[in-house]
């Protein structure tokens, strides 16, 4: 996906910054060129402030996205999802963050999920950063139940796992 954005915005670094921000945050561009979190419109000026770009750059990015079918198909279907990481403690949940040596390598998520299930722990949410958008991606698993030390040791032994953090 990063390659698609790069190809269409390589001559426009400020617009590329906006497009990548929209992707990372799950903000969609609707058929009228408005930027939304699901069905709630976000003013161009607000996005501009966050990214330190003029609102016209944000508007131009949205227009360009609509003009290019490949981009329109992607950006018109993005959705924002509640990420429970920062409220897990208040909900009585626990958080496991996993950094991989190579996050694009297949199988790590499956092995982690299998080990957690083997310990009878329920996964409430799992979010993997896209290694093409995030420099140091993490796999965040929010679980219902205490995390035994034996599970942590087993997770550390998974091929490709570089670091485990319990938050």
Taking the whole predicted model, whether its pTM rises above 0.85 is answered as no
Phi/psi of residue 101, nearest 5 degrees: -65, -35
Take residue 150 and report the two structure tokens written for it: 């034996």
Beta bridge partners of 140: 97, 127
Residue 166, classed as helix, strand or coil, is: strand
Q: Given this model, what pLDDT does residue 36 score? A: 97
Q: Given this model, what pLDDT does residue 79 score? A: 92
Residue 50, classed as helix, strand or coil, is: helix
Element (H, E) at 64: helix 55-67
| Whole-angstrom distance, CA of residue 132 vs CA of residue 21 | 13
Take residue 78 and report the two structure tokens written for it: 């993005």
Q: Given this model, what pLDDT does residue 70 score? A: 94
Q: What is the pLDDT of residues 77-131, one digit of tens each?
A: 999 989 999 999 999 999 999 998 887 788 899 999 999 999 999 999 999 988 8
Take residue 4 and report the two structure tokens written for it: 């698609």
| Whole-angstrom distance, CA of residue 123 vs CA of residue 91 | 14
Answer yes or no: CATH 3.30.70.260 is held by domain 85-166: yes
DSSP-assigned letter for residue 158: S
Residue 99 Cα to chain centre, angstroms = 14
pLDDT surpasses 90 at 50: yes
For the chain, the structural domain boundaries read: 2-75, 85-166
Q: Given this model, what pLDDT does residue 145 score? A: 84
Take residue 74 and report the two structure tokens written for it: 């992607």
| Whole-angstrom distance, CA of residue 72 vs CA of residue 119 | 43
Nearest to 141, CA basis, from 85, 103, 86, 99 = 85
Take residue 153 and report the two structure tokens written for it: 């040791």
- The mean of the pLDDT values for the chain is 93
pLDDT surpasses 80 at 1: no
User: Which residue intervals of 26-161 are DSSP H helices?
Assistant: 44-51, 55-67, 69-75, 108-118, 149-156
| Whole-angstrom distance, CA of residue 57 vs CA of residue 16 | 10
């Amino acid at each position: 996906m990063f390659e698609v954005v790069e190809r269409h915005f390589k001559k426009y670094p400020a617009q590329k910054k906006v497009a990548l921000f929209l992707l990372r945050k799950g903000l969609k561009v609707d058929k009228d060129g408005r930027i939304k979190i699901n069905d709630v419109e976000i003013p161009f000026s607000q996005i501009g402030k966050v990214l330190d770009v003029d609102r016209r750059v944000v508007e131009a990015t949205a227009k360009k996205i609509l003009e290019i079918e490949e981009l329109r198909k992607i950006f018109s279907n993005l959705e924002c999802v509640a990420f429970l990481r920062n409220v897990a403690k208040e909900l009585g949940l626990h958080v496991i963050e996993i950094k991989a040596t190579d996050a694009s390598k297949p199988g790590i998520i499956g092995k982690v999920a299998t080990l957690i299930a083997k310990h009878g722990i329920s996964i409430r949410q799992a979010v993997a950063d896209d290694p093409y958008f995030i420099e140091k991606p993490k796999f965040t698993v929010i679980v219902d139940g205490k995390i035994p030390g034996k599970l942590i040791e087993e997770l550390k032994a998974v091929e490709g796992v570089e670091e485990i953090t319990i938050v």
